[in-house]
Amino acid sequence: MQALPKCARSLYAPFTHPKHTNRIRFSPVSQPQPWTRSFHASASYRALPLAFDLYDNSGEATGAPILILHGLFGSKRNNRSISKALARDLSRPIYALDLRNHGDSPHEKEHNYVALAQDTEAFLKEHNLKDATLIGHSMGAKTVMTMALRDPSCCANIIAVDNAPVDAALLSDFPRYVEGMRRVESANPQSQKEANKILEPFAPDLAVRQYLLTNFARPGPGEPYKWRIPIHTLANSLGNLGDFPFRNPEEARFNKPALFVRGTKSHYVADETIPIIGRFFPRFQMVDVDSGHWVISENPEAFRQAVVEFLQDSE
């Protein structure tokens, strides 16, 4: 554990943060301001029922629940291995969710962080889940941050993976992925092999293509391949997904423990975002993991260790 020098602890002034520091812990530097919601953050949408998988280590995981939320174009299946590992290590049940417009969950034209947060808040209430830990990657990370700032009582702590509470346009990779997926949709390929060939110019990395193509499947035996996700809706929502619904840390603050995990080869959580993270989440810690943006799949063991250590320290 590395401590910052006293002069660098004010989160209201810029400071540099060494990219490869293993873990830095921050403490509150001032009394929290009264919490209010901005209009955008308190907008109301129809909550959708979310599909999920439960991992409870064969019934032996009986602690407080953990929810894990995937990123854009992902699904609950992406988090199968890490969910099993955390249920075993922490003896806590893990709920891996499909967010709206993904996986087996319903589709809806509204796709922004407030709508995603409201779906997940409704899931917590429906399943009577108390003192939960919320884990989210990328799109899921901004969703759990939104939940924590909308209603700090909804959870015990959060873990945000490779995203920050700032407005920042998605990397140009994602519009290219969408264009490639649209080309696949227009071509109506009869196999994943054909779809992969069409997608290759838009997603040269094989691992990324394989990730995207987990959404390309037959609805039933003998039926043609289709995207399981609404490409048009998600394409129209890319701007929303670069947004963050809270603008003013003086109006919303989460004073419970928060862990931010970022990939050392990723650009989603730049050093310049550290002060604003600290103002929204004054008790945050940060861990750097040797990976790109897809932290959990690229370095699952380092991620698992960071989560276990954080949650054991928080008990």
> For residue range 108-132, what is the model confidence (pLDDT) as tens digits?
999 999 999 999 999 999 999 999 9
Domain span including residue 271 = 20-167+252-314
What's the pLDDT tens digit per position in 175-206?
A: 999 999 999 999 989 899 999 999 999 999 99
Domain membership flag for residue 243: no
Give the pLDDT score at 30: 38
Give the pLDDT score at 42: 65
Domain membership flag for residue 181: yes
Q: Are residues 189 and 48 in the same domain?
A: no
Give the pLDDT score at 56: 97
pTM equals 0.87
Q: Are residues 135 and 261 in the same domain?
A: yes
Q: Are residues 91 and 184 in the same domain?
A: no
Helices (H), 46-95: 80-90
Mean pLDDT, rounded, for 212-224? 89
Mean pLDDT, rounded, for 83-111? 97
Is residue 94 classed as helix, strand or coil in its secondary structure? Answer: strand
Q: Are residues 29 and 144 in the same domain?
A: yes
Give the pLDDT score at 232: 94
Q: Are residues 75 and 147 in the same domain?
A: yes
What's the pLDDT tens digit per position in 3-39?
A: 332 222 233 323 333 333 445 444 443 333 333 333 3
Q: Are residues 177 and 132 in the same domain?
A: no
Q: Out of 214, 238, 262, pick the residue that ends a domain.
A: 238
Kindly list the catalytic residues. Answer: 138, 293
Is residue 93 within 8 A of residue 65, CB to CB? The reply is: yes
pLDDT grade, residue 172 (50/70/90)?
confident
Give the pLDDT score at 32: 36
Q: Are residues 76 and 158 in the same domain?
A: yes
Give 134-189 as a DSSP string. EEEETHHHHHHHHHHHH-GGG-SEEEEES--SS--PPPTHHHHHHHHHHHHHHH--
